Amino acid sequence: MKDEIEGVIFDLDGVLEFQGKAYPGAIELLNLLRSRGIPIRVLSNSTLKSRRSCAEKLKSKGFNIQEHEVVTASFATARYLETLNPRSCWVMLKREGLEEFSGFRHDPDDPEYIVLGDFREDFNFQNLNKALRLLCKGAKLIVMITETVDSSLGEMELTVGAYGKMLEDAAGIKATYIGKPNRYIFDITLDTMGNIERSRILMVGDRLATDILGAKNAGLKTALVKTGEFRESDLESPVALPDYIFDSVGEVAKLFR
């Protein structure tokens, strides 16, 4: 069975690290996979991080990861937007994730597409109403992630999907969502992995509703780790059943021994 896995995609937060600290065995597992010549990708629903900034942070913690091996929701959204050949866009996003959108024409006053990521404190009265009016005038909405709540920094916060759903509802339109569990981000990640058969690629994640559900729908093998945002209650009426369940990421090495 173990010989079947020819590529591994890791979720980042709650799998390789949590609140900025690498999980025991995570760095060693990546090194083991490298020594076997198995392609690795890190797939994160972070919108604030670019491929570059995410890879740099991982390297500074001791992970052997290159920029081209990272896919963030901001990177995937930019690649998707590229396929639409947009006239102009308003990218509602902060920090390094914005680097991914440097190739587009930005026009916040008359955009063809509104692209919604984590806009932090700029999700305010003025900007949200401006977005609403632009959508009612015909702008199209792309939302980087579906999730409505983020607890990764400790306290619960509304996140990107919540603003996306509010704008969809208020403007009476339908948005396109890119991040896990949506198909777009998986297809974009798999595109970077060459010609490996999907059923031979393993997705390792801590969330059934995003990592595992999305990976199963994309035709991948799945491993759930009971770290990060995992709760035992997730398994009571699971939205998707993983092929493997491990206590933590270090145990995934068992599949490769």
Contact footprint for Mg ion (CB under 5 A): 11, 13-14, 206, 228
Q: Cα dist. 191→75, 77, 210 in Å?
A: 13, 14, 19
Hey, how many other C-beta atoms are within 10 angstroms of the C-beta on 88? 15
Angle at 83 between CA 54 and CA 94, to 5 degrees: 35
Parallel, antiparallel, or unpaired for β 149-150 and 157-158? Answer: antiparallel
DSSP secondary structure string for all residues of 196-230: --GGGEEEEES-IIIIIHHHHHTT-EEEEESSTT-
Choose between 129 and 217: whose C-beta lies nearer to Mg ion. 217
Q: Distance (Å, rounded) from C-alpha 34 to C-alpha 64?
A: 9
**Residue whose CB is less far from Mg ion, 143 or 212:** 212
In angstroms, what is the minimal distance from the CB of 151 to Mg ion? Answer: 11
Beta carbon nearer to Mg ion, 139 or 185: 185
Which is closer to Mg ion, CB of 100 or CB of 206? 206
Residues 237 and 234: their CA atoms lie apart, in Å, by 7
Which residue number, 11 or 147, has a Cβ lying nearer to Mg ion? 11
